[in-house]
Amino acid sequence: MRTVKEVSELTGVSIRALHHYDAIGLLKPTKVTRAGYRLYDDKALRRLQTILLFRELQFSLKQIKAILDDPNFDPAQALCQQIKMLELQYKRIGELIDLARRIRSKGVDVMNFDAFDTKEIRAHKAEVMEKWGNTKAYQQYEQKNVSVNKQSELATSLMLKFVELGKLKHLAPKQTEVQVKIKALQQFITDNYYECTPEILSSLGEMYVNDERFRQNIDKAGGKGTAEFVNQAILVYCSY
């Protein structure tokens, strides 16, 4: 058994991220001691390795959890798919390097956008989600069949929610004005993505602070500390 600190040192995953994985049910410790210490066995480490491979392939934590929790999930098949996607990424990176070198040698007027095409990678990602990621929330999102342009509009609208919340950081998370904004955030997600239950909203709040990309984007929209503020406000909202 390894402690959370030992797992963090071994894998490079922060202790905070491991705590978050536990909170959302993505990677539960094998055992929790009476003193509250999380312990992980080899089976848990193998699951973490699978998680990290999917993260390298740009799967979200929600998608990874849906895949791993599917009763039909086959680690061997998943590894084959991961290898294929990594090979495609390797090929794409090589093409990007070649393009950059051609531009350097022939001048900035060289234009070729083939290397930026991620169609094949996205197709394989969709295949993985179709095979193992069919949770209710994911199915609801897929059924909306949102266009690329609409996705961009929704992302912008979602960021505006964080801009509004960022302006309220001087208030306590439990203040009515803040809680009204959190309710609006929950409704926005339900209306445009999937039913945002209190459990899902709580998990999203944790993700906003523990996933570095989310934290950076939210703090960029609403100002430093917005992600943490939103998470605290969500915790209050979901405790009612």
pTM recorded for the entire structure: 0.48
The reply to whether 152 and 233 lie within a common domain is yes
| Domain boundaries, position 65 | 57-134
Number of domains in the chain: 3
In this model, does residue 131 exceed pLDDT 80?
no
Angle made by CA atoms 177, 180, 182, in degrees to the nearest 5: 115
Contacts of 219 (CB under 8 A, 6+ apart): 225, 226, 227
Copy the structure tokens of residue 90.
Answer: 């390797």
Contact 67, 73 (CB under 8 A): yes
What confidence category does residue 3 fall into, taking pLDDT thresholds of 50, 70 and 90?
A: very high
What pLDDT score does 154 carry?
83
Residue 140 located in a structural domain: no
Shared domain check, 76 and 118: yes
Give mean pLDDT, residues 15-28.
90
| pLDDT tens, position by position, 182-200 | 999 999 988 887 788 887 8
Task: Say if residue 208's pLDDT is above 90.
Answer: no
For residue 190, the model assigns a pLDDT of 87
Q: Is 190 exposed, middle or buried (0-12, 13-18, 19+ CB in 10 A)?
A: middle
CA atoms within 13 A on the CB side of 60: 14
Residues 130 and 197 in one domain: no
Tell me the CATH number at 9. Answer: 1.10.1660.10
Q: Is 115 contained in some domain?
A: yes
According to the model, what pLDDT value does residue 116 have?
57
Residue 139 lies in a domain: no
158 with 207, same domain: the answer is yes
